[in-house]
Amino acid sequence: MAEKKKKFMQGNEACSEGAIYAGCRFYAGYPITPSTEIAETLSVRLPKFGGVFMQMEDEIASICAIVGASLGGAKSLTATSGPGFSLMQEGIGFACITEVPCVIVNVMRSGPSTGFPTGPSQSDVMQAKWGTHGDHPAIALTPASVQEIMYETIRAFNLSELYRTPVIILYDEIIGHMREAIALPEPDEIEVVERKKPSCKPEEYKPYASNNGDIAPLAVYGEGYRFHVTGLYHAEDGFPTNNTKLIGEANERIVNKVNKNIDKICINEEFYLDDAEIGVVAYGVSSKSAKFAVKEMRKKGIKAGLLRPKTIWPFPYKAVNKLAKQVKAILVPEMNLGQVYYEVERASRGQCEVKGIFKVDTEAIHPKKIMEEIEKFT
């Protein structure tokens, strides 16, 4: 078997290549550190595949443009960082309630506000879940390497098309600007999901009809189907409704299409967990430090293990709860003042001690700090 082609690539460049592989053919965005390389790469690459790149006047226009492009049948992407992500929230909520597939990359930087544009952070985790108002579905992926960014970008598009919902790719500045030699997937090596289109007559089409919890097919504007899209609560035909029963059912349905498929959506890496006595739950760049720390502790005979969520939302409550039953303590290193920490604490349900290791000075958490905290429980 021939060896795969490898390329020395930056994380943001890998995101762009993963998007193209997944079938993305429309990008709209506004340059913002530290995600700008995604726009730069796609401005060159997309036209070569018959795609369209548009630099918008701001992030509000960007999210609206990709929603519109998706309704026109194009797999669409935008990329930003914290301040731009804040501006996109109303548009993300619109995509949630209208069930329009799209992918949003947030390369996290230090904040709030302008903060330190070139400094890494992991402070947008809760914003990815609760940034827009109301009850809504949330899928957010947290890759931890350049190779993984490529694969998780493909998965993000697949999940978006499969569940008719926006999907967020959430990684930090360090992962975004890191360079690694990665293996490029061959054509057709990785499954690429295409959206389900209606097969009924155009006059019979209902864009939000759900039978037994199924996700309705999504027609493409310009292919003979006329349908209404609104941010108001709507009935199966897409037109606004004041029927409280339909409103309640619609809200529960858009949330449950994700919540009832958690086992299919959530992916975790388990590292030395079989006999672990001290657990570490970490994601993104912090998980790199955590994995090194766990390896060093194992050399000393200390049974540490790492649970690394690749999907941060929906949160892997089952996996964390299982770990909490096994270990005496769980450490949660993250570059914020405690976000995933509280989710781990909630999932643990008092079955073990949970301790956070927080850092917000724009420098990554050093493995030595995690090792020091692990040793306190030995």
pLDDT digits (tens, 9 = 90+) for 28-76: 999 999 999 999 999 999 999 999 999 999 999 999 999 999 999 999 9
Helix axes of 317-326 and 340-348: crossing angle, nearest 10 degrees: 60
Domain ranges of the chain: 6-183, 267-375
Tokens in use for 311?
């999907």
| Alpha-carbon torsion, ordered 270, 271, 277, 281, to 10 deg | -60
What is the pLDDT confidence band of residue 210, given thresholds at 50, 70 and 90? Answer: confident
pTM: 0.96
Q: Could you tell me how far CA 296 lies from the centroid of its own chain?
A: 30
Q: What is the pLDDT of residue 212?
A: 62
CATH number of the domain at 6-183, out of 3.40.50.720, 3.40.50.970, 3.40.50.300, 3.40.50.2000? Answer: 3.40.50.970
Contact indicator for 142, 170 with CB cutoff of 8 Å:
yes
Helix, strand, coil fractions of the chain, as percent rounded to 5? 40, 20, 40
Q: What is the pLDDT of residue 214?
A: 77
Over range 233-246, report the average pLDDT.
96
Beta bridge partners of 75: 24
Contact indicator for 265, 251 with CB cutoff of 8 Å:
no
Q: What is the pLDDT of residue 5?
A: 83
Q: Is the dihedral of CA 252, 255, 258, 262 positive or negative?
A: negative
Q: What is the pLDDT of residue 213?
A: 67
Residues above pLDDT 70, as percent of the chain:
99
CATH code for residues 267-375: 3.40.50.920
Each residue of 1-40: pLDDT tens digit?
457 788 999 999 999 999 999 999 999 999 999 999 999 9
End-to-end Cα separation, the chain, in angstroms: 47
Tell me how far apart the alpha carbons of residues 314 and 94 are, in angstroms, rounded to a whole number: 19
* Identical fold, 6-183 and 267-375: yes
pLDDT score of 221 more than 60:
yes
Beta bridge partners of 14: none
Contact indicator for 110, 119 with CB cutoff of 8 Å:
yes
Over range 315-342, report the average pLDDT.
98
For the chain, give the mean pLDDT: 96
Between strands 24-29 and 166-172, the pairing is: unpaired
Contact indicator for 341, 334 with CB cutoff of 8 Å:
yes
